[in-house]
Chain A
Amino acid sequence: MAGIAIEKLVKRYGQTQVVHGLDLNIQDGEFVVFVGPSGCGKSTTLRMIAGLEEIDGGTIAIGGRIVNRLEPKERNIAMVFQNYAIYPHMSVAENIAFGLYTAALDKAQKRRRVEEVAEVLGLTALLERRPSALSGGQRQRVAIGRAMVRDPAVFLFDEPLSNLDAQLRAQMRLEIKRLHQRLRTTIVFVTHDQVEAMTLADRIVVMRDGRILQVGAPMALYEKPADVFTARFIGSPTMNIVPARATAEAGSSSLQLGETPLAWSAALPTDVLVGVRPQELRVLEHGESADLVLSGSVAVVEPLGPETFVHVEAEGGLLLASAPARNPPAVGSAVRLGAAAAALHLFDAKSERAL
């Protein structure tokens, strides 16, 4: 097992720089998830850790050893790819054993290792099958098995669940998490799915345009997003962001939004963005009040079983709010939405950084 230290990591494709001086320390045994939209540099960074992309600047150290110039096979890592990359011309057992290609073990020892891994992953009955006879989830388990069998210092996962349907994805998520709890091996996991990031990670690294925007535990990111992008990216459904104006009043401010101005204990810039998660923005009962109250009319109702969300045309645009699951307001009806001051996230409208 080993930690990973990334310092001032740079990647360029021709004249285009795609990773801009990343700094990150991953602890031994930590489960770190890189999350961000397509093209944010998360997979490129993972591939640089794996040794599949050359590094144009900075260093990557695995277990205290700088690996910039080492081949992938010399880094003691194992990688699981998005499309599984299990070889169609080999059986499950051969695929898993392929992870031991360079291991100095005899045939019987390799076979034993393969059987142990197959046992852990529930693949024992499938060892002689070809990949074409497996389901998507089974194939993904074979790919994980091939990575596991080597007992690597670091596991790298490159969007491994993207090709699975929603149900299987949730199941595999659980299996990967349990696997980490059992093995305690360092895992770097790349995904564009914030649900995967939230459920799996010890720490999430939010990336955009080749830069790290924020690093932290899932709930820390959820509760204290550093900027608008992270606020909208982390959490489902997406956070509502409403533009507002603030007026300064001797060390405090007054936020001009909703039915009544909202007193704020800190000095704010004139133009701010107010964020409120749909779970914190509720449809108010008749006569009920809240720190922030916005009025509007219901455009769409989305019942989800335990809760119902309503899209409301209101001041600041289309807002998503939670409504009683049993008796949601009808489409077209006028509603008042309310949120507590403590549930609001304020951002500078210019820099989009949290205030």
Chain B
Amino acid sequence: MSATASPLSGRIEPGRILAWLLLFGGGLIMVTPLAFMFATSLKDSSEIYDLAFFPAHPTLDNYVAVLSDGRFLRWFANSFGIATAVTLSNVFFDSLVGYTLAKFQFRGRYLVFVAILSTLMIPTEMLVIPWYVMAKNFGWLDSYWGIMFPGMMTAFGTFLMKQFFETVPNDFLEAARVDGLGEFAIFWRIAMPLVTPALSALAIFTFLSNWTAFIWPLIVTTSKELYTLPVGLTSFAVEAQVQWELIMTGAALATLPTLTVFLLLQRYIVRGVVLAGLKG
């Protein structure tokens, strides 16, 4: 018998055990609050401050209460609509700008790119005030457009798409030019299908970040019917008393679409993260 360690030899390296332990610990830290949230959503209000993990008398009453409250569905629909619109906008405009920066030579191209990149260095908290002033001056306060406009195009998305479009061989575009396509048709029919991994990564990231967006929708909206889900859920906490069981139930319901998206598209998410890292 060979003493050499191999995947089939049954001997496990100590380093690997340590890695597993660390990953298991990390996973536990990540999953515990999520599991606690789902567990709490099954408790009735009298059990809320009993910190036992499992509910003594599991009940779906909270789900009935949240789902029969018209506000929750409204906020859910708001979040879904806003996240979808912003995602579509990002996929289109970030790609259009990224493609132009990657594939066209024009005066000031580098300057435009650096200007776009530089906005990545400004934290959101710093941008909130100018956004608010802008929304106020244009009359966009407390409107769907007011919630959406800062995210309709992002520097990160533009950067990501530019890096990907640079990997598309020019021959594809030139062949299309010879075949008689106009510049927009080349972008739409040839270049875009060639960067679908990047597009799916961008779409997933954009959707998830808008689904969970909190600060800006909280600042720009005052009407409850315009709230997004994260903002709406906090209103459960400020009415009369903190209704933790309803907050947890709402949060559990809000998590379901993102979990579904992740489970269905995790292959693309991982690939997107890896590619974004490599290209960046």
Contacts and interface: CB of A to CB of B under 8 A. Distances in A.
B133 to A, nearest CB: 44
Nearest to B175: A85
Nearest to A103: B180
Contacts of A82: 171
Interface stretch (A72-80, A164-172, A199-207, A345-353): A72-80
Interface residues of B, number: 15
Interface of A is mostly: loop
B178 A101 contact: no
Contacts of A85: 169, 171-172, 174-175
Interface string A92-126: 00000011011000000000000000000000000
A77 B179 contact: no
A50 to B, nearest CB: 6
B128 interface: no
Interface string A34-77: 00000000000000001110000000000000000001110001
Interface in B171-191: 171-172, 174-181, 190
Contacts of A146: 175, 179
Given A83-B169, A101-B180, A102-B180, A89 B175 contact: no
Contact of B178 (A79, A83, A87, A88): A79
A81 interface: yes
Interface in B145-191: 169, 171-172, 174-181, 190
Contacts of B176: 98
B10 interface: no
B108 interface: no
B194 interface: yes
Interface centre among B171, B172, B190, B193 (most CB of A within 10 A): B171
Given A87-B190, A89-B193, A99 B179 contact: yes
A78 B178 contact: yes
A81 B181 contact: no
Contacts of A51: 177-178
A77 B178 contact: yes
Nearest to A71: B177
A32 to B, nearest CB: 19
Given A87-B190, A88-B194, A89-B194, A73 B171 contact: no
A73 B177 contact: yes
A52 B174 contact: yes
Interface of A: 50-52, 71-73, 77-79, 81-85, 87-89, 98-99, 101-102, 146, 150
28 contacts: A50-B174, A50-B178, A51-B178, A52-B177, A72-B174, A73-B177, A73-B179, A73-B181, A77-B178, A78-B178, A79-B174, A81-B171, A81-B175, A83-B171, A85-B169, A85-B171, A85-B172, A85-B174, A85-B175, A87-B172, A87-B190, A87-B193, A87-B194, A88-B194, A98-B176, A101-B181, A146-B175, A150-B179
